Structure 1
Amino acid sequence: MSLERLSEVVNISRSHLSRIETAEAMPPPDLPPRLDVAFRTDGIFMELYQLAAREIHPDQFRRRMELEARACLIEEYAGQIVPGLVQAEGYARQQFVVSNPKATSEEIEQLMAARMSRQALLHATPPPDLSLILDEAALRRFFGGPAVMRAQVTKLEALTLTSNSVVQVLPVEHGGHALMGGTLTLMTLKDGAQVAYEEAITTGMLFEDVEAVRERQRAYDLLRACALSPRDSAAFIRTVLEGLPT
């Protein structure tokens, strides 16, 4: 099939398809299923996309993504920024722009495609259970304008208490705690193994040692006990939403 014809079928420009074909651009996450339909390939493009999405990340984070995809429970604390797994598109894009001020629009779009592809695991069958502790600062700190933050806070409110997600807010009044200064992700795999991933400004470290993971799990559990309940967290998030400029 020519690129011109494929462009008509999948509704993406010929030039964009050409860059994807030559591995100069990451495919958008909604393209692989359309390619599978166009070529009747029964999920092959979706499988290839998952491989490609992992390849653009550094080794440590790539390993984290592989484990994340196998997890049945993901627990995360975030102090300054909404975690990537639950970021709205506008919020994620603004984060990448701020973090990479010299990045081209194509580089930003590749990062966006990778970020959105990670979120697909939350729609798996069955999805992993997700538990988030968000510092109040992550809700108050703007990435983009009020409209961007409104979309993000609305998304968080919807996840506050569902069949597979819990979001709890840690108010600033709580004061200092052991997990300040970064983010922590704890993953329990389907075979019962547990791993932890700590992330700073530009670096991340994966812990698979049992004792190291246990120490971080204890710190997370203590913080969860101090956070607002899911019901009170939902009310808090609605207050933040109502306080955003229209």
Structure 2
Amino acid sequence: MSKPLAIVGIGASAGGLAALEQFFRNMPPDAGIAFVLITHMDPAQKGQLPEILRRFTRMPVLETEDGMKIEANTVYVKPAQYDLTIFHGIIGHLEPVRTGGLRMPIDSFFQHLAENQDGRAIGIVLSGTGSDGTLGIRAIKERAGMVMAEDPSSARFSGMPWSAITSGFVDYSAQPEELPDLLLRYLKFSVTTPTDEMLATARVEADLKQIFTLIRLHS
């Protein structure tokens, strides 16, 4: 096994299984990418999601363990009872944190991913209710990373992708089966280690995107 070309965080909730199926059926198993899947899963469903995802991909699908090293061409699934962090390619388990009474595991992991991967961080928001993921993708964009979201018209529950897109921080929006090709093309040409100047520019652009989005929503 080898170090991944990129670590891609995928956030999904209600209706996300159908989107995940279409995504992984169209993702080559040898692209050199590691995927970390963050869902709003009931603790009673422990172990079920990896088993289901193995039907859609030839990549190994593993439930994460504290201290697990991330390898290329592997799908990692967050256990229901923990949130995840990442440091130098190592997964860590965290006790869940609630923001305003709500648990936001996608935001949490995307923020850790942005801090540790800088311009190599990639976040994808799929079907789900609410807005989990929106704060996290801002963190990714502030570190010059890349963000994708499912086209809300194809999502069974459009809340999460719609919130992400209307934030102004999404680079690509498409149906789940189209996202892998966009991801591979992006990685072929665009992954770099950002300079301090690039990071400063990315933060300014993120602020401007949010301002323009707020103006558009209230005009």
Answer yes or no: same fold by TM over 0.5.
no
Instruction: Answer 1 or 2: which has greater strand percent.
Output: 2
The alignment's TM-score, normalised by the length of structure 1, stands at: 0.27
The alignment's TM-score, normalised by the length of structure 2, stands at: 0.29
Q: Choose 1 or 2 for highest CA Rg.
A: 1
